[in-house]
Amino acid sequence: MNPGLTTELVRVGIILLLAGLVGHALHVGFLLMFLVMAISYARHLLALYRMRQWVNQEPLQDDFPEVGGSLWADVFYRIFQMKRQEQRVRQRLENVLERARTSIDALEEAVILIDGRGNLEWWNPSATNLLGLKELDRNHPVTNFLRDPRFVEYFRAGDYREPLSLPSVMDPQRHLQYEITRFGENDRLIICWDVTVLRNLEKMRKEFVANVSHELRTPLTVFRGYLETMAEGSHDMPPRWVKAVGQMQAQAQRMAHIVNDLLTLSRLESSPEKGREVVIDVPAMLQEIRMDALVYGADKSQTIHLKIDPQLKLFAISEDIRSAFMNLVTNAVKYSPADGEITLRWWRDFGGAYFMVEDQGIGIDTHHMPRLTERFYRIDVSRSKRLGGTGLGLAIVKHVLINHDAELSVESELGKGSMFMVHFKTERVRVQESLAVPEADDDSLLEDLP
């Protein structure tokens, strides 16, 4: 038992005993005991009142109120210890928060807190400089301020895996990039920074690549022409020169492929050419691609299966879709063994249209997957050069699909093969409404062409 409580109980007991004895002698025992109890109760009420006044002081004073009895002194001391500890913890938290706020205020990036209702709650000075936020905007919806339809759609969709880049609301010549993170009860943190310099550098890079590629095309054509002329008269050359000319022709051809791919990639990275979109007869296109692939890999004696929905067409840019599909099929031919089997599928379901290339090739290790669509990225440099690859094929596929709001997914296992699948949204599908819609794993409505 608490020593202070024991002392208090002993003292009250002794006072009541003395009051009883004195009262009995004076024949007023109960009255005297009642008065003693009332005085003791009033004393405790006074101590409680003083404790309340003392606890409510900010900051808490070190000196305790004058109260009688060790019980209340002990209570005051314990409360003092707890309050002192609370003040220390609060001070540490305030220091951390102040340092965090100072750090955030010093950032060049705009940092904005959005509450669960989508209203502006807090922002740092950079948000004022980049976006022009004012105190009057506080507690108002962020979409009232950032009204660009692309931002409104991005904010409401809730898919924040990729950042969003938009012209600045204050200066259209500047470009800002937005990233949104959810936390708490549907609260959101928006981080925005100026990417104008990066965009300008990227624009310069694209223009440089396009200009260099154009400039290289003419001398390459002349060079290849002279090499062809020399090759035609190779019977008059020494044997060592015949071999040298052949190697130069091969390298010139490879360089021409790289230049053409760079020009294609440069065109794709520019604004999408919506005016060139037409309804594509994809089944007919895939039959042509299949025949071209068989010719390309004629020395391998591979089998290419074609399973297609003959009525399924696509609204897109024909040249670009053919380039993307041909790159995927050519890769399958390159990296599949002789006498191997390759399957091309073209089908639809209620989610849209799908094109799949499945092979029995060498497969791809998982750590290569994130970089497959990078320019000039090769899994095996020596093999790629031997097979004539430029390292730009999947980069072209990526940009074609970006321009068509499509997605590429890849599954692969070393030694067993790979599966590349392209998904087009329903808006691009063109098909007779009266036909049944096959499921993704249902081949009953697909034609299997030899």
For 65-78, the pLDDT digits (tens) are 555 555 666 666 67
Is CATH 3.30.429.10 the classification given to domain 198-269?
A: no
Residue 437, pLDDT score: 44
Query: Tens of pLDDT along 188-226?
Result: 999 998 888 888 877 777 777 777 777 777 787 887 787
Q: Where, residue-wise, is CATH 3.30.450.20 in the chain? A: 107-194
Give the Cα separation of 71 and 61 in Å (integer).
Answer: 20
Residue 283, pLDDT score: 92
Give the Cα separation of 334 and 389 in Å (integer).
Answer: 9
- Closest residue by Cα to residue 418 from 394, 398, 440: 394
Q: Is the pLDDT of residue 445 over 50?
A: no
Alpha helices in 336-445 (DSSP H): 381-387, 393-403
Q: Where, residue-wise, is CATH 3.30.565.10 in the chain? A: 276-449
Q: Is the pLDDT of residue 238 over 80?
A: no
Give the Cα separation of 360 and 404 in Å (integer).
Answer: 28
Give the Cα separation of 112 and 96 in Å (integer).
Answer: 19
**72, 252, 311, 320 from 281: Cα distances, Å:** 92, 35, 8, 14
Q: Where, residue-wise, is CATH 1.10.287.130 in the chain? A: 198-269
Q: Is the pLDDT of residue 345 over 90?
A: yes
Residue 434, pLDDT score: 44
CATH superfamily for domain 276-449: Histidine kinase-like ATPase, C-terminal domain (3.30.565.10)
Q: Is the pLDDT of residue 272 over 70?
A: no
Query: Which CATH number is 107-194's, of 3.30.450.20, 3.40.50.2300, 3.40.50.720, 3.30.310.50?
Result: 3.30.450.20
Query: Tens of pLDDT along 280-335?
Result: 999 999 999 999 988 888 888 888 999 999 999 999 988 889 989 998 998 888 88
